[in-house]
Amino acid sequence: MKNVVVVGSQWGDEGKGKIVDWLSSEADVVVRFQGGHNAGHTLVIDKKVFKLRLLPSGIVRAGKISILGNGVVIDPWALLSEIEEIKKKGVNVTPENFMISDTASLILPFHQEMDEIREDAAGKSKIGTTRRGIGPCYEDKVGRRSIRVMDLASESNLDARLENVLKHHNAIRKGLKKKIYKKEVLKKNLLNIAPKILKFAKPVWLELDKFKNSRKKILFEGAQGILLDVDHGTYPYVTSSNTVPSTAATGSGSGPDKIGYILGITKAYTTRVGSGPFPTELNNQIGENLGKRGKEFGTVTARKRRCGWFDGVLVRQTIKISGINGIALTKLDVLDDLDEIKMCVEYELKGKKINYLPAATEDQFNIKPIYKSFPGWKTNTQGIRNMKDLPENAKKYIYALEDFIGAKISSISTSPERDDTILIEDPFKFN
C-alpha cells in the first residue's frame, strides 16, 4: 500500500489544495504535518469555493478522516472559527472525521502580537510573515515552554505551563514597553474553549499505526513550499518549520518507512509572497498579466503574489533535496495567451555561471537568470483532461520542463476545478 506525501516544490501557493483534494478521493486519511493557519488552500468543488487554513483538504470529503499532526502549531480560536465557517457550507466536523495530536503546540495571543511587533520593527528587512504567530510559537516549542493541546485537560498543569511561558514573554514585553499578559485571564480563556478542542485530541501516532495496520491509504499534506523550509529555503526569508517531505514522518509520528510516494506540486511559472530573493521575478506587464490570469492573491492574507518565469534550477534543486518521485504541474492554462515562454536553466553570479541557488542571501539577491525560450501555444487549454488534446507547443514546454528538472510529470492541472486534471501516473498505484 502506497502512502503519499504532497509538498510544494517552490515558494508555496502551487495549487496543493486542489491536488490534495483530488487525491483524497482515493485516500482514507489526510494528515497535515507542519505549519499553521498561515498556510491557505483553496478548493473549488461544484463551483463552491472552500478556503481552508488549518483543516486538511480531506475534510470536505465524506467518509475521510482528517488529522492535524504534532508538527502543526494550532491557534485554537482560529481552528474553532474555521470549523464553524465550514459547517455553514454543509461540511460536518466531528471527532469521528477529525482529530488533533494531543502533543501539538498552541498559538496564543502573545505569539501573534510578537510576530507583529517584530515585523513592524524590521522595516525594509522584514521577512514577510503572515503575522499569525507561527514563528514565535515554534520558538516556544523548541525552547520547551509551549502550551500543548494536552495541557488544556488539567487546570493545575495549565497554570504551571502558563507561568513558565509568560516569564519569558513578559520579560521581553517589558523591555519593549508593551503590556504584560496576565496569567489568570489567559488561563480562563483557554479553559473556556478547552472542551471544544479536547474532544478532537488523540495520540495521533497511535491512530496512524492502527490505520497502517489496517492498510488504510494515508495522504500527508504539506503546507507552504520547500523553498520556505527553515533549513533548505531562502533563509532568513523562510517559514519557521521544515517543509520537506521527510517532515511528514516527524510531524505526525509515522515512520519514514511508511511513505511510498512523494508528489511535488509545481506551478508552470513561479510565484512568491512576501520578501526575499526571486531570481526570475517579472516586474513588468507580463508579470502583471500572470498575476491577473492566475488570480495570484494569498488565500489567508489576500496579499498580491510576485510572479515570474518558471525557475528550473530551483525546482531541480528542491527535487534533489526532497526525493520527489513525481510532479503535479499546475496552472498551465495561465500561460495560454503568451507569445513566448521562458524557463530559467542557469544562473550568472559575479561573471560565472552556476547551476544551483547559492546559500548566501546576498548572492541569492544578485544572481541573474539565464533563460531558454519556447514558443507559446496561443490556444485555450483550460479544462483539458487528456494529454493528446494539448497543443503541440504546450507539450514541448512540458516535456522540456520534465527533462530539465529530472522528475516525471505525473499529472497536469488545467483549471481550479477538481476534475480538470490530466492523470499520467497515479501516486497511490506507483511501483
For 68-79, the pLDDT digits (tens) are 999 999 999 999
Residues 6+ apart with CB under 8 A from 57: 16, 17, 20, 21, 24, 30, 41, 43, 221
Of the listed ranges 49-58, 246-255, 354-363, 387-396, the one predicted with least confidence:
49-58
Residue 301's pLDDT is 61
Report d(CA 431, CA 427) in Å as an integer.
Answer: 9
Residues 6+ apart with CB under 8 A from 118: none
The closest alpha carbon to 137, from 153, 149, 125, 128, belongs to 149
Residue 117's pLDDT is 81
Q: Mind telling me the catalytic residues?
A: 13, 41
Sign of the Cα torsion 150, 151, 156, 157 reads positive
Q: What is the mean pLDDT of residues 393-410?
A: 96
Residue 121's pLDDT is 72
pLDDT band at 87 (very low <50, low <70, confident <90, very high): very high
Q: Is the pLDDT of residue 141 over 80?
A: yes
For 300-355, the pLDDT digits (tens) are 566 789 999 999 999 999 999 999 999 999 999 999 999 999 999 999 999 999 99
Encode burial over 101-115: b for 16+ CB neighbours within 10 A, e otherwise. bbbbbbbbebbbbbb
Residue 284's pLDDT is 96
Residue 274's pLDDT is 85
Residue 9's pLDDT is 97
Instruction: Give Cα separations from 147 to 3, 39, 232, 274 (angstroms).
Output: 31, 21, 28, 29
Q: Is the peptide bond before 95 cis (omega within 30 degrees of 0)?
A: no
Residues 6+ apart with CB under 8 A from 10: 225, 226, 227, 266, 267, 270, 271, 272, 311, 314, 315, 318
> C-alpha cell of 78?
482560529
Q: Is the pLDDT of residue 159 over 80?
A: yes
Q: Is the pLDDT of residue 430 over 90?
A: no
- For residue 6, give the 3-state DSSP assignment: strand
Q: Is the pLDDT of residue 402 over 60?
A: yes
The one-letter amino acid code at 20 reads V
> C-alpha cell of 84?
464553524
Q: How many Cβ atoms sit within 10 Å of the Cβ of residue 199? A: 13
> C-alpha cell of 302?
489576500
The closest alpha carbon to 151, from 104, 110, 203, 86, belongs to 104
More confident residue, 302 or 384: 384
More confident residue, 95 or 37: 95
Are 277 and 361 in contact by the 8 Å Cβ rule? The answer is yes
Give the global pTM.
0.91
Of the listed ranges 46-60, 93-107, 142-156, the one predicted with least confidence:
46-60
Q: How many Cβ atoms sit within 10 Å of the Cβ of residue 180? A: 12
Report d(CA 143, CA 20) in Å as an integer.
Answer: 33
Sign of the Cα torsion 407, 216, 55, 110 reads negative
Q: Is the pLDDT of residue 256 over 90?
A: no
Residue 299's pLDDT is 59
List phi, psi (to 5°) of 296: -85, 80
Are 106 and 136 in contact by the 8 Å Cβ rule? The answer is no
pLDDT band at 426 (very low <50, low <70, confident <90, very high): confident
- Please give the mean pLDDT across all residues of the chain: 92
pLDDT band at 417 (very low <50, low <70, confident <90, very high): confident
Report d(CA 135, CA 241) in Å as an integer.
Answer: 8
pLDDT band at 418 (very low <50, low <70, confident <90, very high): confident
Residues 6+ apart with CB under 8 A from 128: 237, 273, 274, 275, 276
- For residue 372, give the 3-state DSSP assignment: strand
Q: How many Cβ atoms sit within 10 Å of the Cβ of residue 375? A: 13
Q: Is the pLDDT of residue 387 over 80?
A: yes
Are 135 and 115 in contact by the 8 Å Cβ rule? The answer is yes
The one-letter amino acid code at 58 reads G
Helix (H) or strand (E) holding 341: strand 340-349
The closest alpha carbon to 306, from 8, 11, 7, belongs to 11
Instruction: Give Cα separations from 118 to 114, 132, 384 (angstroms).
Output: 6, 12, 46
Are 73 and 141 in contact by the 8 Å Cβ rule? The answer is yes
For 274-303, the pLDDT digits (tens) are 889 999 999 999 999 999 999 998 655 667
Report d(CA 145, CA 166) in Å as an integer.
Answer: 9
pLDDT band at 57 (very low <50, low <70, confident <90, very high): confident
Residue 365's pLDDT is 97
pLDDT band at 115 (very low <50, low <70, confident <90, very high): confident
Residue 128's pLDDT is 62
